[in-house]
Amino acid sequence: MSAVQAVGHALGVAGSMAWQVTWSLILGFALSAVIGSLVRKSTIVGLLPDDRARSLATAAGLGAASSSCSYAAVALARSLFRKGADFTAAMAFEIASTNLVVELGLILALLIGWPFTLAEFVGGPIMIVLVALVFRRYLSRRLVDAARIQADRGRAGSMEGHAAMDMSVATAGPFTRRLVSPAGLTSVSHTFVMEWAAIARDLVIGLLIAGAAGAWIPDRFWRHLFLAGHPVAAKIWGPIIGPLVAVVTFVCSIGNVPLAAVLWNGGISFGGVVAFIFADLIIVPILLIYRKYYGTRMAVVLAGTFYLSMVAAGYVIELVFTPLGLVPTGPRHARVGDDGLRWNYTTILNIIFLLLAAVLVVRFLRTGGRSMLAMMGGDPDHPDHPDNGDHAIHESTRTPDHGHPSGPAAHGCGHGATPAPDPAAPRPDQEP
Q: Which residues of 223-234 are buried (b: 16+ CB within 10 A; e: fewer)?
A: eebbbbeeeeeb
Does 372 score more than 50 pLDDT?
yes
Q: How far is CA 425 from CA 99, 376, 386, in A?
A: 36, 27, 18
**What pLDDT sits at residue 283?**
87
Lowest mean pLDDT, pick from 36-40, 377-381, 399-403: 399-403
Q: How far is CA 410 from CA 167, 182, 205, 390, 401, in A?
A: 10, 13, 34, 10, 15
Torsion sign, CA atoms 408, 411, 416, 422: positive
Please state, rounded to an integer, the average pLDDT across all residues of the chain. 79
The strand pairing partners of 398, in sequence order, are 405
**What pLDDT sits at residue 402?**
38
Residue 432: pLDDT band with limits 50, 70, 90: very low
Which range has highest mean pLDDT (62-66, 117-121, 212-216, 402-406)?
A: 117-121
The pLDDT tens digits of the residues spanning 73-129 come to 888 899 889 889 999 999 999 999 888 988 888 889 888 999 999 999 999 999 999
pTM reported for the whole predicted model: 0.75
What gap in Å lies between CA 287 and CA 308, rounded to an integer? 15
Of 102, 132, 117, 101, the C-alpha closest to 321 is 117
Q: How far is CA 38 from CA 130, 168, 344, in A?
A: 30, 5, 35
The pLDDT tens digits of the residues spanning 308-359 come to 999 999 999 999 999 999 999 878 877 665 556 677 778 898 999 999 999 9
What gap in Å lies between CA 103 and CA 316, rounded to an integer? 23
- What's the residue count for the chain? 432
Average pLDDT rounded to a whole number, residues 289-301: 94
Contact 364, 193 (CB under 8 A): yes
Average pLDDT rounded to a whole number, residues 406-432: 38
